[in-house]
Amino acid sequence: MATQASRRSKPNILVTGTPGTGKTTTSSALADATQLRHICIGDLVKEKNLHDGWDDELDCYIINEDLVCDELENMMEVGGNIVDYHGCDFFPERWFDIVVVLQTENSVLYDRLTKRGYSGSKLSNNLECEIFQVLLEEAKSSYSEDIVKPLNSNTIDEISSNVDTLTTWVHNWQTNV
Ligand code: DAT
């Protein structure tokens, strides 16, 4: 980590978790608090056409991981980014100084996803993804375990406390570079 950190003066943060756990809300508040840049991969894929078409079955774009990584490489090298995505195993490991995995209780997540219009297999697949802690396992197998930080994200108070914790982490990181 020391060698990677020495190449950038600001850290890169990955915020991951099952859809609906609060990645975008948390990342956006954290960007406001720290002046780091929030990159929502879902929006970037749409804006820059970094996909291979639409998947009717999964009801989402088929993300082209190589195009996404090429698009981000220069910004990640400079540092100062908060990357928000519901997957984490295709980014280069060297990009991130901390990997935050947001977690939400199932009944809470159910309400958020149904409000978002998810139903049928899209709803059940995402709930199962959370029950089986798929993103936490993916993060642990893709990054050094000491930079993987699971955080509960059930309430507004937890968003505030997560943003406070991460803001302090960013300031400490920058002081220690
Ligand atoms: P994601 O980016 O992980 O898909 P989001 O930030 O879009 O999630 O949040 C989904 C919805 O849930 C949105 O209406 C805001 C709300 N929400 C997210 N995290 C929350 C939390 N910790 N407490 C209360 N509401 C939350």
| Domains in the chain: ranges and CATH | 12-163 (3.40.50.300)
pLDDT-derived band at 2, boundaries 50, 70, 90: very low
Average pLDDT over residues 128-157: 98
Question: Distance from the CA of 1 to the center of ligand 1, in angstroms?
Answer: 30
Question: Distance from the CA of 58 to the center of ligand 1, in angstroms?
Answer: 21
How do residues 67-77 score in pLDDT, each as one tens digit?
Answer: 999 999 999 99
Flag whether the pTM goes above 0.85. yes
Which is more confidently placed, 1 or 36?
A: 36
Q: What is the pLDDT of residue 1?
A: 45
156 CA: nearest ligand 1 atom: 23
pLDDT-derived band at 57, boundaries 50, 70, 90: confident
Residue 6: is its pLDDT beyond 60? Answer: no
Which of 103, 105, 112 maximizes ligand 1 atoms within 8 Å of its Cβ, making it the mutation to test the pocket? Answer: 112
Which is more confidently placed, 60 or 18?
A: 18
The dihedral region occupied by 153, where left means phi > 0, alpha psi between -120 and 50, and beta the remainder, is beta
**Whether 40 contacts 46, CB under 8 Å:** no
